[in-house]
Structure 1
């Protein structure tokens, strides 16, 4: 990878000027700036209002809608990342939930004290989510409405040189309000899907984000387009929307929603909870979405420098595999799939990877199938996989485990191993007690 050092992704302020340039001739986005913001026109909002709106969402999503301890609990005052699941525990929609007042929606004639929430979802999935919500609404006293384009705007903002977002200096375990005034028309939350990934904002109307922020919270950096934001997500290993988190197919923990703090494992019942809780306490997550580096079929991936993030190179010409294409070992006959390619930009992307095949992580504390000399590839025929392509092709692919994700997985593995040993110990004690009792009974009979 040393030959790619000239135009690789580096988080330094010297890269800001590159965003004044247009996309290159291939249509690929420029390197994301250190600080910036982007309008998320691929996302949409659904408003849910009414006295039962909080309890309704509490029984539907993976996140906890209530803060505090029993018996005193109140609706949370901070936005959060979350998901809707089906009854089998598969992801229907990845969402952000924002608490608002009805004044934010322009309903001045209604009580501002009544609970109201905004659900941010993939724009292509608004009708599906509305059907899902209406199916479970039953007699709940609430109102659902999909917001029109231009009513509210969705933004992502970041500053890699800052240790935390400017105004969202609270955490999800407490209920501290943001540093914006209570009557501010702007709502938002920390984007917890990766450390330092940034902040989410919702603003009224189609105007630029900066117009709505007070002087002390003005953003640094430039506004970038949606493709540059998408590239930044891939570099961080963050999947978004049902084009990447496949509807009714993906498990929430395979999509790193547990690491992203999008699941509260201590809350009460919700749709899809059973499998999610069982996996958390007793299971092992063998596949996860990871950032990947793409190479030509003639390149040697085993000699590339190890890194906790992929390196984006504007000069590299790499063919993009179709979505859903299988990942397999190089030089072997058909065998167990190592994962599936999701999406990419240039020579970086996302893939659902089998950890013990494509990375050096051991999930059980024992030996894994990983071999550092083993290479992986994605090959496809014309019209294969979910994304149709006009001709066949192949690329090599290398999974990369971000440091923050590695730390979480290692800690979870140690916890699971300790729990398993404790269970084995308990089972051994019970078996020994049973044998001793049987021996005593036999002795008494004699």
Structure 2
């Protein structure tokens, strides 16, 4: 098998969480279940606002005696402060870690968590993530972002903090929300959206010729607004689209025709 590409993700940083109460502490704060998180397992989750909007994304990696939180580098200190604010009397330790974050794709079946390598929980094609990997990178973060976008998976550049509901960012379809775990911050709104099926907007990739439209550029279905462009690169971009306005086709951005490229991991309905 061909060796996987390795890209050091400098946009990501690690927080180490440990102590006797670490599971119950995180359980009430994030969208993901950590009570059943196994050593060597990686899960996607998020910290929401009380109103249920996406504040910070994170991966939770199970380790002996605690967990590693894989977060955006620019938000690490803010996340530490937020977690510390909620700690109260919980017996939990929260500290920044020097471990690096590396993406590997495709994921070789021989990769093991005891080597610091964890399968990406969002989609198998995304590969794996490693913490503290000593191997030298063979690709850069831009190559990984191109790989992720090619699979139609949105990333942190696509949700402005405190603006997007996690379901609109497809966290429910990418294994980022456990609807059976009980209460967490922002749970009421999230559960209500899922229960009522009132999901009118989703993040979806589009294709087009030439350079990407500007972030926030309006997408039209005929003369009706259908959504907006988010992050992108030549020929492809992530968008926020109204599902009821894409069925007829004929989408344009700045007068250019664009097409929705429905991801294979996303249900058609």
* TM-score of the pair, normalised by structure 1: 0.56
**Structure 1 runs of 4+ off > 6 angstroms?**
none
| Count of residues in correspondence between the two structures | 268
Of Structure 1 and Structure 2, the greater strand share is in 2
State the secondary structure of the residue aligned to 1:322: coil
2:76 match:
126
Gapped runs of 5+ residues in structure 1? 1-12, 17-33, 68-74, 102-114, 169-178, 210-221, 296-317, 359-369, 380-393, 411-446
- Matches for 1:320-399 after TM superposition, within 5 Å: 320-330=212-222, 332=223, 335=224, 337-358=225-246, 370-372=247-249, 374-377=250-253, 379=254, 395-399=256-260
CA contact (8 A) 2:200 2:243 kept: yes
State the secondary structure of the residue aligned to 1:66: coil
State the secondary structure of the residue aligned to 2:145: helix
State the secondary structure of the residue aligned to 1:64: coil
- Matches for 1:2-401 after TM superposition, within 5 Å: 35-67=4-36, 76-77=38-39, 78-101=41-64, 115-147=65-97, 151-159=98-106, 165-167=108-110, 179-180=112-113, 184=114, 186-203=115-132, 207-208=134-135, 223-241=138-156, 243-295=157-209, 318-330=210-222, 332=223, 335=224, 337-358=225-246, 370-372=247-249, 374-377=250-253, 379=254, 395-401=256-262
2:155 and 2:263 mapped to 1: Cα distance? 17
State the secondary structure of the residue aligned to 1:223: coil
Give the superposition deviation at 1:165: 5.0
1:402 match:
263
Gapped runs of 5+ residues in structure 2? none
* TM-score of the pair, normalised by structure 2: 0.91
Give the superposition deviation at 1:35: 4.2
CA contact (8 A) 1:235 1:349 kept: no
Q: Deviations over 1:196-221 (max 9, x none)?
A: 221111126xx326xxxxxxxxxxxx
Give the superposition deviation at 1:231: 0.7
Sort the Cα spacing of 1:42 and 1:224 in 2 relative to 1 into closer, same or farther, 3 A. same
CA contact (8 A) 1:79 1:188 kept: no
Output the aligned Cα RMSD.
2.3
1:4 match:
none
State the secondary structure of the residue aligned to 2:173: coil
CA contact (8 A) 1:341 1:350 kept: yes
Give the superposition deviation at 1:195: 3.9
1:293 and 1:406 mapped to 2: Cα distance? 19
Of Structure 1 and Structure 2, the greater helix share is in 1
- Larger RCO (alpha carbons 8 Å, 6+ apart): 2
Q: Deviations over 1:156-177 (max 9, x none)?
A: 1122xxxx75157xxxxxxxxx
CA contact (8 A) 2:173 2:266 kept: yes
